[in-house]
């Protein structure tokens, strides 16, 4: 990173702050602060929806996954387009037409206050924690590669985001998101072009090498419920997950209920329906090309510099021997990779690639033993490439894009957390009658408090790696169940008690599957939760209205 | 809920949009499939 790169990052941060804060003009009521007076154009809302979904994990984690595991992760998104179209004709007209601030507010109108309060409470717990983990992922990487204190990394990402979200509300979140997604897509395309230019072999040769190493397998048609990424888990489990996420999660719902009309809200969701799979395929393909690029370079044995230093200090002799073996395997692999692609040369390349992978696996095992934590360095592969091989200026743009992805995801979540806190709890239970100015003040304070909470969680999550897994698992416990409640809301015969008991039954069913059959992929939890809620809710509603 | 479309209109809209969205997805998946079959051996 040169001065120009740091300058680009500084200019980006300053611009985001100024642009976000100036959006506060005209935001004097909570309708404007949380919903922009339902006046935003569909394309801005749609781009904001996409920006909220993208986080640093997409730019550094998904590319790393493409480099180590290939394209198969793209199957995770196969249900998204279908889910968007279904939502466009089902929940979107309901929620937009109901003129609500939050999705959960609608549940009280349809059922009762307890269902609203339980769903909104679950949202607050899960989103508050996940907001912290979104900040933690890039903060850990920045700390390791730049040698920064973790608190500084968390502050660099968290503080500007909290300031512009707190002052500007949803207007700031949406319009900053538009610029951030443009920056992210520009950075991705620039990296792709750079990779293609810098590769020492033709694109066809590069793809042959990636294919020989199994990195181009995008489809797995096996019906294996223990496998996270298959065509069927992506299509069926993914559809339910995306229906839950986009249909019932306030961080997404709040984006499209700011649109001018139902049709504009639908159109905004269709941007994701059209572009999510191609964009994720592009991100993974960049990771695959980084893998091919490293075939002709000498990448480190461990990409995480902190782990590398720890292992070198604790086991210098063992690490030295392993590194020597790794470098010999790299040279042999590079020679095999340079040969013109043929069945025999690709077979030889596969054998050399296996030697390199074996050395890497051993090094990661050594790092796990030394550090006492499971060592994975997938998130460090892309940063290593960016810092060592991208031209001056472009590295700064990519780091700014990582910050943009994190900030856009966090800003959307903070805004929705504040909305639920104020609308579903403060205004509903604590102070039902107050002036708009009072609610606006409380809303800004709630945004700030949630921002501090997220930064606190990020600091702890970074030191407790397994917490991230716990948070993700916790979310999957009730995502599908909340979707089930909203499905029940659209069935006229469903009653309040059926919905509330069904919601608890759905979460219990998912908990039973999670602990009783832990090998079942979490993507199926959403299907199990939603189906249980609808079934239990309908049975109880039928019993309640049946004549005696 | 005056914004809620009539069932006929909703189902026509659903079918038309579904077709368009799926056309883009099929094109993307076809490209991924071609990459897999051409290069994965």
CATH 1.20.1730.10 for domain A3-294+390-462, yes or no, is yes
Q: CB-based contact (8 Å) between A214 and chain B?
A: yes
pLDDT at B2: 44
Residue in chain B lying closest to A267 (CA):
B17
Residues 6+ apart with CB under 8 A from A451: A158, A161, A162, A165, A166, A414
Three-state SS at A40: strand
* Beta carbon pairs, A and B, within 8 Å: 84
User: Bridge-partner residues for A259, per DSSP?
Assistant: A40
CB contact under 8 A, A89 and B22: no
What does the alpha-carbon distance between residue A1 and residue A5 come to, in Å, rounded to a whole number? 6
- Per-10-residue mean pLDDT for chain B, 41 residues long? 55 74 89 92 64
Tell me which of B19, B29, B32 to substitute to probe the interface with A (most A C-beta atoms closer than 10 Å): B32
Q: B32 and chain A: CB distance < 8 Å anywhere? A: yes
Task: Check residue B31 and give its pLDDT.
Answer: 94
Output the pLDDT for position B22. Answer: 83
Closest C-alpha among A416, A421, A515 to residue A473: A515
Phi, psi of A373 (to 5 degrees): -130, 150
- A271-300 burial, b at 16+ Cβ within 10 Å, e below that, comes to bbbbbbbbbbbbbbbbbbbbbbbbbbeebb
- Give the whole-angstrom CA distance, residue A202 versus residue A196: 8
Residue that has been written with the tokens 């004549």 in this structure: A547
- Chain A residue numbers with beta carbons less than 8 Å from the beta carbon of B24 are 81, 274, 278
Closest to A270 (Cβ–Cβ): which among B21, B33, B38? B21
Q: Within a 13 Å sphere around the CA of A331, how many CA atoms are in the beta-carbon half?
A: 5
The position carrying tokens 């219990």 is A508
Report the pLDDT value the prediction gives residue A123, as an integer from 0 to 100. 92
Q: Which residues contact A511 (CB under 8 A, 6 or more apart)?
A: A477
Q: pLDDT by residue for chain A (548 residues), tens digit each? A: 789 999 999 999 999 999 888 887 767 788 889 998 888 998 999 999 998 888 888 888 899 999 999 999 999 899 999 899 889 888 898 888 888 999 999 999 999 999 999 999 999 988 888 888 889 888 888 887 888 888 999 999 999 999 999 999 999 999 999 999 999 999 999 999 999 999 999 999 999 999 999 999 999 999 888 887 899 988 998 898 899 989 999 999 998 899 988 888 888 888 888 889 999 999 999 999 999 999 999 999 999 888 899 999 999 999 999 999 999 999 999 999 999 899 999 999 999 999 999 999 999 999 999 988 888 888 899 999 999 999 999 999 999 999 999 999 999 999 999 999 999 999 999 999 999 999 999 999 999 999 999 999 888 876 655 444 555 566 777 888 999 999 999 899 999 999 999 999 999 999 899 888 888 888 888 899 999 999 999 999 987 555 54
Query: From CA A442, how far away is CA A214, in angstroms rounded?
Result: 53
Residue ranges of chain A that CATH labels 1.20.1730.10: 3-294+390-462
**pLDDT of the residue at A548:** 47
Q: What is the pTM of this model?
A: 0.89
Which residue matches tokens 């306030």?
A250
């Amino acid at each position: 990173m040169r001065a120009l790169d740091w300058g680009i990052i500084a200019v980006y941060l300053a611009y985001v702050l100024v642009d976000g804060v100036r959006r506060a003009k005209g935001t004097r009521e909570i309708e404007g602060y949380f919903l922009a007076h339902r006046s935003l154009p569909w394309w801005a809302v749609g781009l904001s929806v996409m920006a909220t979904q993208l986080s640093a994990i997409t730019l550094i984690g998904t590319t790393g996954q493409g480099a180590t595991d290939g394209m198969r992760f793209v199957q995770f998104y196969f249900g998204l387009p279908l889910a968007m179209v279904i939502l466009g004709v089902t929940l979107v007209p309901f929620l937009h037409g109901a003129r609500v601030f939050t999705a959960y507010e609608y549940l009280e109108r349809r059922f009762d206050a307890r269902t609203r309060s339980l769903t909104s409470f679950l949202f607050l717990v899960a989103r508050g924690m996940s907001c912290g983990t979104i900040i933690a992922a890039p903060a850990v990487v920045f700390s390791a590669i730049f040698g920064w204190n973790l608190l500084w990394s968390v502050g660099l990402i968290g503080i500007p985001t909290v300031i512009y979200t707190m002052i500007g509300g949803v207007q700031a979140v949406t319009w900053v998101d538009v610029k951030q997604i443009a920056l992210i897509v520009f950075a991705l395309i620039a990296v792709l072009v750079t990779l293609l230019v810098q590769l020492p072999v033709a694109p066809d040769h590069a793809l042959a090498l990636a294919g020989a190493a199994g990195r181009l397998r995008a489809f797995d048609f096996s019906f294996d419920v223990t496998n996270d990424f298959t065509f069927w888990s992506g299509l069926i489990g993914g559809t339910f997950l995306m229906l839950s996420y986009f249909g019932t999660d306030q961080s997404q719902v709040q984006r499209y209920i700011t649109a001018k009309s139902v049709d504009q809200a639908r159109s905004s969701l269709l941007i994701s329906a059209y572009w999510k799979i191609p964009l994720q395929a592009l991100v993974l393909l960049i990771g695959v090309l980084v893998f091919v690029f490293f075939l002709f370079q000498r990448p480190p044995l461990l990409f995480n510099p902190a782990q590398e230093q720890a292992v070198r200090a604790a086991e210098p002799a063992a690490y030295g021997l392993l590194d020597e073996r790794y470098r010999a395997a790299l040279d042999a692999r590079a020679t095999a990779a340079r040969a013109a692609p043929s069945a025999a040369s690709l077979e030889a390349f596969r054998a050399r690639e296996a030697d390199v992978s074996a050395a890497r696996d051993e090094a990661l095992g050594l790092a796990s033993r030394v550090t006492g934590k499971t060592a994975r360095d997938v998130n460090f592969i892309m940063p290593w490439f960016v810092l060592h091989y991208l031209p001056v200026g472009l590295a700064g743009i990519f780091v700014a894009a990582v910050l943009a992805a994190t900030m856009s995801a966090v800003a959307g979540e903070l805004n929705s957390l504040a909305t639920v806190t104020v609308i579903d709890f403060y205004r509903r239970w604590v102070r039902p009658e107050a002036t708009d100015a009072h609610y606006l003040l409380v809303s800004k304070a709630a945004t700030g408090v949630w921002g501090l909470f997220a930064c606190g969680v990020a600091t702890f999550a970074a030191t407790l790696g397994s917490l991230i897994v716990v948070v993700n698992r916790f979310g999957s416990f009730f995502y599908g169940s909340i979707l089930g409640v909203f499905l029940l809301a659209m069935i006229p015969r469903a009653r309040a008690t059926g919905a509330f008991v069904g919601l608890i039954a759905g979460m219990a069913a998912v908990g039973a599957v999670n602990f009783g059959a832990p090998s079942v992929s979490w993507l199926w939890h959403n299907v199990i939760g939603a189906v249980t809620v609808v079934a239990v809710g309908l049975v109880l509603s039928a019993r309640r209205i049946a004549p005696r | 809920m005056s914004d809620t479309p009539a069932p006929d209109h909703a189902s026509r809209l659903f079918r038309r949009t579904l077709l368009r969205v799926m056309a883009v997805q099929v094109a993307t998946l076809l490209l991924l499939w071609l990459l897999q079959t051409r290069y994965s051996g």
